[in-house]
């Protein structure tokens, strides 16, 4: 269906079967809170890819709660662009 142009895109196929990848908010990695954390579940000033919004999970097998939160943050940003 993707190759025929009927539905979806290659990005959708990759998100389902491989990984979601780096989440961007306003063209950057998710910002740190005043505590130095990107989310409360990470340690202060953690520099791992996961704490910076990299989602290594895929929709086929499910994503972790932190990954879901980052994904929702990016989705809200896109929704606001259409207002």
User: What pLDDT, in 10s, does the model give residues 5-45?
Assistant: 777 788 888 888 999 999 999 889 999 999 999 999 999 99
- 49 vs 5, more confident: 49
Q: For 1-83, where are the E strands, in sequence order?
A: 21-22, 54-55
Cβ 12 vs Cβ 2: under 8 Å = yes
Which pTM value belongs to this model? 0.79
Topology given in CATH for the domain delimited by 10-81? Topoisomerase I; Chain A, domain 4 (1.10.132)
What does the domain layout of the chain look like in residue ranges?
10-81
Q: Is 83 helix (H, G, I), strand (E, B) or coil?
A: coil
- 75 vs 66, more confident: 66
Q: What is the mean pLDDT of residues 43-53?
A: 94
Q: Hunting for tokens 């919004």 — which residue is that?
A: 53
């Amino acid at each position: 269906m993707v190759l025929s142009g009927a539905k979806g895109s290659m990005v959708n196929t990759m998100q389902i079967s491989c990984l979601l990848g780096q989440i961007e908010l306003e063209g950057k990695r998710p910002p740190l809170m005043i505590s130095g954390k990107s989310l409360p579940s990470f340690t202060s000033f953690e520099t791992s890819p996961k704490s910076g919004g990299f989602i290594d999970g895929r929709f086929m097998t499910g994503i972790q709660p932190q990954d879901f939160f980052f994904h929702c943050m990016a989705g809200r940003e896109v929704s606001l662009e259409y207002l």
